[in-house]
Amino acid sequence: MIFKPHKIIIQAMVSYENKGFRLLPRNLIILILEIFDRFSLLLVRMKISPNLLSFLGLVAGLLVGVFFALDRWGWALVFLLLCGMLDILDGKVAINSNRRTVFGAVFDSSLDRYSEFAIYFGLGFYFRAHWVLWVLALAFLGSTMVSYTKARAESLGINCQLGIMQRAERMVLLIIGTLLAMITGHSETTMIAVIIILAAVSNLTAIQRIIHVYRVEKKKAVSGT
C-alpha cells in the first residue's frame, strides 16, 4: 500500500468543513495536522506503537498536574506541549501504520480523560483555598460532557464531531494561559480567566452537541428515514 499524505490532508479538510465553527482557525488546524502527519512517518518507520504514545501522553498529563500543584509553571508548560503533541501523534501513527483498532481507540480516549483529570486536579490543588475551585469543577464537567455527548451520539449512529471547544482547543487554551501566566507574572489572575473560559465554553460545546443530535433526529423523522 502506497501512502499518500496529500489525500489524508484533503480528507481532513473535507471532514473539517462538516464540523461547524471552532475556536482554532481552519488553516492552522490543517497546517498542524500536516506537520504531525509527516513527523508520524518517522515514528512509523521506527515501529513505535500508537498505544505506547497514548500511554506516554497520560504520563505527560500526570506530570502537568503535578507541576501545576507544585507551582512550577515552566515545567507544566513543557509537559502540556508534550501532552498535546502525543495526543495528535498517537492517532496519526495508528492511521499511517495501518494499526487502527477498536481497543486502541478506546484505550486512547480513556487515557485522554485520565490525563485531563490529572491536569484539572493539579490546578485544583493549586487553587484549593480559592473560590475558582468550584468553577474548575464545572470546567472538568464540561470537558467530560464534550467527550461523552460525542461518544453517546456516535454509539447511536449519529456523527457528532462538531463543537466550539474540543480537546485541541482546551489544550491550546491551557498552553496559552500557562505561557501568559509566566510572562506576566500574574499566574493566578491569568489562570482564573482561563478556567472561567474553559468552564463556560466547554459546557456550551456539550449543549451544542446535544442540540445537534436533536436536529439530526428531527430531520430524520420529517424525512421518514
How does residue 162 score in pLDDT terms, banded at 50, 70 and 90?
confident
Query: CA 84, CA 86: separation in Å to the nearest integer?
Result: 6
How far is CA 112 from its chain centroid? 8
- How large is the average pLDDT for residues 86-114? 87
Quote the domain boundaries for residue 82: 5-223
- How large is the average pLDDT for residues 154-179? 86
Nearest partner of 149 among 135, 160, 141, judged by Cα = 160
pLDDT at res. 92: 85
Query: Which grid cell sits at 23?
Result: 475556536
212-218 own/partner pairs: CB under 8 Å, 24+ apart: 212/153, 212/158, 212/160, 212/162, 213/149, 213/153, 213/158, 213/160, 216/158, 217/158
The answer, yes or no, to whether residue 168 has pLDDT greater than 90, is no
pLDDT at res. 17: 37
Q: How many residues are there in the chain?
A: 225
Query: Domain count of the chain?
Result: 1
Dump pLDDT digits (tens) for 120-153.
999 999 999 999 999 999 999 999 999 899 988 8
Per the model's pLDDT, the better-predicted residue between 20 and 153 turns out to be 153
The answer, yes or no, to whether residue 103 has pLDDT greater than 60, is yes
The answer, yes or no, to whether residue 14 has pLDDT greater than 70, is no
3-state secondary structure the chain: CCCCHHHHHHHHHHHHHCCCCCCCCHHHHHHHHHHHHHHHHHHHHCCCCHHHHHHHHHHHHHHHHHHHHCCCHHHHHHHHHHHHHHHHHHHHHHHHCCCCCHHHHHHHHHHHHHHHHHHHHHHHHHCCCCCHHHHHHHHHHHHHHHHHHHHHHHHCCCCCCCCCCCHHHHHHHHHHHHHHHHHHCCHHHHHHHHHHHHHHHHHHHHHHHHHHHHHHHHHHHHHCC
Place of cell 496519526: 92
- Min mean pLDDT across 33-37, 111-115, 155-159, 200-204 is at 33-37
CB 177, CB 198: distance < 8 Å? no
Per the model's pLDDT, the better-predicted residue between 10 and 225 turns out to be 225
Query: Which grid cell sits at 133?
Result: 475551585
Handedness of CA 215, 216, 220, 221 (dihedral sign): negative
Dump pLDDT digits (tens) for 61-80.
999 999 999 999 999 999 99
pTM: 0.81
For residue 135, the domain's CATH number is 1.20.120.1760
